[in-house]
Amino acid sequence: MSDSENTLSAQSGGAQPREQWSSRLAFILAATGSAVGLGNIWKFPYITGENGGGAFVLIYLLCIATIGIPIMMAEIMLGRRGRQDPISTMKHLARESGHSRSWGLLGWMGVIAGFLILSYYSVIAGWALSYVPRMASGIFTGLDADGVNTVFSDLVGSAESLLAWHTIFMIMTMTVVARGVRGGLEKAVTYLMPLLFILLVILVFYAMESGHFEQGLSYLFTPDFSKISTKGVLTAMGHAFFTLSLGMGAIMVYGSYLPEKTSIATASIAVAVMDTIVALLAGMIIFPIVFANALEPAAGPGLIFKTLPLAFGQMPYGDLFGTLFFVLLVFAAWTSSISLIEPAVTWGMKTFKYSRIKMSVISGLLVWFAGLFTIFSFNLASDFTISTSITTHYGEFVILKDATAFDFLDYLTSNIMLPLGGLMIAIFAGWLMKKEYSKQELALSPFWYGTWSFLGRFIAPVMGIIVFMNAMGIIAFFESILGIKLDAFFRSLF
């Protein structure tokens, strides 16, 4: 780090970051690595299928533009100005702007959210990891849809197998975290992210030969506004937070390593665009294969583990391409998992004066243990479910019904913690942080600063409140009292 950067960091009042990204491109690749992962290739296609296809995609893109990018800019800005872990950053920035240090609770929520997400994210990444040797062995060659489904069912039904792959993936994650930002993550994403894009493009060309490419594109990009529902709109909002790694401290801590002269706006837009392209490419690959093999697009979380192996099993050199794809999918998940645990590691290093290696081991063990709940929810404890509802004289309003531990953690983080974290980030950056500080960090023209300020102060908070209210059953409650359904309202907007 140069003397000028040291001076600027000291002026910000934060602690000196241990490392910085070597360039703007390095940050973009690292932040994209954090954003691009299982959420794009595993989650986006199946929630698109569950919510009607093209209309959902349109709403999702609007959410990325009006919620995702403004909040990402705000989170990077807070991280770079604070130059510390999320908890210490929020305490420092609140004090700097004359507000309560209780804003450190926002940092705590982000750290905990990242911890919980990684506990089940690692298990799903373990699925991808386990498919590497299966693909290489040729087990999927010539299998029909039923055969592929059987392989997947046998995997998730075995607690021992899931535990083994979960353990391996967590060891991989904490090994890189222990090596530091520039020495571990930056080197990896420099090569792995471009390769992932190349393989996705190759698979799109294969999907063109499936005979159902136009049908897949139509499903993905042709909006059927009659299928717009309250659930779909709120799922799109929630996924905009999930896929960009917002509200979990990861982007804030990555921002703390960002050089002063790097444009936050340019970097945020680049990350959002690359993240969205990956999600759309994944859909362009998967849906033609789904229709070509008479599969159900709303197949749920197992969609990518059933459709892609089926395709690779039928295509020339499928074993080779399938193996490479799942290797790179693992690495995409790997870069995301590192960002999820980094906030907790940096906080522990400062608080307990532990070395990075020691804190990485402790954090990894805690996440590994928490992951057992997700593992057992697919097999040994699959009958243990959670149902939550609100009962009034107007009737019963169901929030969760027969949710497994995995379902509950996904619901808690995606629908409550991340939108609430993003909401509080938008409120702090837009309403409480002094304008002179945000203007200094963002370095935007008056027009674009005004645009960011409007979206961050009004649109993003309103959206976050709506997602949070829905998750708590409040929207369903008012729908019943007023005798209306918001589905019709959302359709009228389009």
pLDDT at 391: 65
Higher-confidence residue: 331 or 429? 429
- Report whether pLDDT(487) > 50: yes
User: pTM, whole model, 2 decimals?
Assistant: 0.88
pLDDT at 153: 92
CA distance 174 to 221: 39
Please tell me whether residue 304 adopts helix, strand or coil conformation: helix
pLDDT at 12: 41
pLDDT at 191: 80
pLDDT at 393: 62
Kindly report the CATH number that applies to the domain delimited by 3-381: 1.10.4160.10
What DSSP letter does each residue of 192-251 carry, written as one string?
HHHHHHHHHHHHHHHHHTTS-HHHHHHHHHS--GGG--HHHHHHHHHHHHHHTTTTSSHH
- The pLDDT tens digits for 105-139 are 999 999 999 999 999 999 999 999 999 999 999 99
Distances in whole angstroms, Cα of residue 176 to Cα of each of 54, 85, 180, 481: 38, 18, 7, 52
Compute the half-sphere exposure of residue 199: CA atoms within 13 Å on the CB side of its CA: 22
